[in-house]
Amino acid sequence: MLRFAPSPTDDMHIGNLRVALFNYICSRQREEPLLIRIEDTDKERNIPGKEEEIFAILALFGIEYQEQQFQSNNLRFHRAMALQLLQDKKAFNCFCTPETLEAKREASKEGKIAYHYDGACENLYAEEVIDNPLPFTIRLKKPDHSITVTDIIKGESVFASDEIDSFVLLNTDKSPTYNFACAVDDMLADVSLIIRSEDHLSDTPKQIAIHEALGYTKKVEYAHLPLIIGDDTISVKWLLEEGYLPDAITNYLILIENKTPIEIFDLKEAIKWFDLHTLSKDPAHFDIDKLKFINREHLSGLDPKELSRYVGFADEEIGNLAKLFLEEASTLKELRAKIGAIFAPKIVPDEYKEGFDVLRDLTRKAPHFDDYESYKAYLMEHSGLKEENLLKPLRLLLSGAEHGPEMNDLYTHIKNFIKEVAK
């Protein structure tokens, strides 16, 4: 089993989507199921509706999964496991108040020594625990050995027992901490490979310590993905609104800081050759120009009818027309603006106004011309305009812009709508 475990606390960012994509690809390659676990135990930070957004994005990107869970439904397992750890003396009740802990933390800071839990409640007598009316947390006893995390991308990292520390498993309200819920849920789901972002690397020894304390011996593999710098400002929703295709975003996220056999591909192809081992250890920088280039490549590869639908029409010719603008436009939003300008009432600078009106009226009355040269010859003959005086207002009439693709190409794709363009 592989799993993608998003928190419904924020918009989905490209870093999260990358984690989801890599989990999906590896689940396919290993022929293991994929679990989507919504980590919704942090009630204060949950944002209503975010989980639906997450599922919608997964569907849009073709990320199929076999199981779906809400972590808050597993609370009874978290509590049962905490109880077992208490009984096995692998965990203990801690009555230290937040104020006491904070004071000790401050003292360490002043003494310039790293703060560690001082074991104040680790060896209380049973009566001291049972008779104590104060709220308590449950802490795991820190391991008596260091823990080595072997990561497919980062190699080995060794964490000393003090670094892992006696950390909290259950809060005073009996809710699990992130590390505890995650370690228990991964164990219960029999997860074999955990792919997640690098900011969780320091959590991994804690989660391994929990597995060890619970007597869970399965060798779980880990891959912590380097961060994408700038990711926190780039939500998937925003990219989609800007008109980047899911296929292009997928292509970009698989390509960056990776060695891929080709530059432009889709998810299905990537499943054939993707290898976590070829990913760089270094963080990637989000590069919008590269994404634009990839988006253009995917847009130009689209079936014209499909592209036409994306820009708000249902005509193959409009799809071909849109492709003409891929030199200057990189996103669907930009393409929609270009195509929209062709059919919208035109704003004409004063210097071209006269010529524009003449050409527009002529075009409205003109017979159908199959090729641009005949259409142009007709306009020249009836307007008396030529060269710049003809071409500048004509371009405005046909495209709503002063610059753009070759007129000949433009005409080829709009000739069947010419009356509408000149309306």
5 binds ligand GLU (CB under 6 A): yes
Instruction: State in angstroms the smallest separation of the CB of 241 from ligand GLU.
Output: 22
205 binds ligand GLU (CB under 6 A): no
Which residue lies nearer to ligand GLU by CB, 184 or 213? Answer: 184
Instruction: State in angstroms the smallest separation of the CB of 78 from ligand GLU.
Output: 15
Say what angle helices 316-324 and 288-301 make with each other, to 10 degrees: 140
Choose one: 4-12, 20-28, 118-126, 391-399; the region binding ligand GLU (CB under 6 A): 4-12
405 binds ligand GLU (CB under 6 A): no
Which residue lies nearer to ligand GLU by CB, 139 or 196? Answer: 196
Q: Which x/- pattern over 161-190 shows residues binding ligand GLU (rule: CB under 6 A)? A: ---------------------x--------
Instruction: State in angstroms the smallest separation of the CB of 40 from ligand GLU.
Output: 9
Please report, for residues 15, 197, 260, the alpha-carbon distance to residue 227 in angstroms, rounded to integers and kept in the order given.
Answer: 7, 7, 19
Which residue lies nearer to ligand GLU by CB, 19 or 284? Answer: 19
Choose one: 5-13, 55-63, 214-222, 292-300; the region binding ligand GLU (CB under 6 A): 5-13
Catalogue the long-range contacts made by 399-405 (C-beta closer than 8 Å, 24 or more residues apart): 399/338, 399/341, 399/342, 400/341, 400/342, 400/344, 400/346, 400/347, 401/338, 401/341, 404/324, 404/325, 404/328, 404/338, 405/324, 405/325, 405/327
The type of residue at 61 is: F
The type of residue at 259 is: K
Q: Which of 27, 36, 39, 205 binds ligand GLU (CB under 6 A)?
A: 39
Which residue lies nearer to ligand GLU by CB, 7 or 69? Answer: 7
220-259: contacts with ligand GLU (CB under 6 A): none
196 binds ligand GLU (CB under 6 A): yes
Pairing of strands 67-70, 34-38: parallel
Choose one: 2-10, 128-136, 231-239, 346-354; the region binding ligand GLU (CB under 6 A): 2-10
7 binds ligand GLU (CB under 6 A): yes
Which residue lies nearer to ligand GLU by CB, 227 or 391? Answer: 227
> By rule CB under 6 A, what count of residues binds ligand GLU?
7
Which residue lies nearer to ligand GLU by CB, 200 or 292? Answer: 200
Which residue lies nearer to ligand GLU by CB, 71 or 137? Answer: 71
Please report, for residues 170, 213, 226, 246, the alpha-carbon distance to residue 80 in angstroms, rounded to integers and kept in the order given.
Answer: 11, 14, 35, 42
Q: What is the C-alpha to C-alpha distance for residues 189 and 271, in angstroms, rounded to an integer?
A: 24
Structure-token pair, residue 181: 């819920």
Give the DSSP letter of residue 76: H
CB neighbours of 24 closer than 8 A, spacing ≥ 6? Answer: 4, 34, 63, 64, 65, 267
Q: Where are the alpha helices (DSSP H) in 267-365?
A: 267-273, 288-301, 304-310, 316-324, 332-343, 350-365
- Closest residue to ligand GLU using C-beta atoms: 196
Q: What is the C-alpha to C-alpha distance for residues 225 and 273, in angstroms, rounded to an integer?
A: 18
Binding residues for ligand GLU (CB under 6 A): 5-7, 39, 182, 196, 200
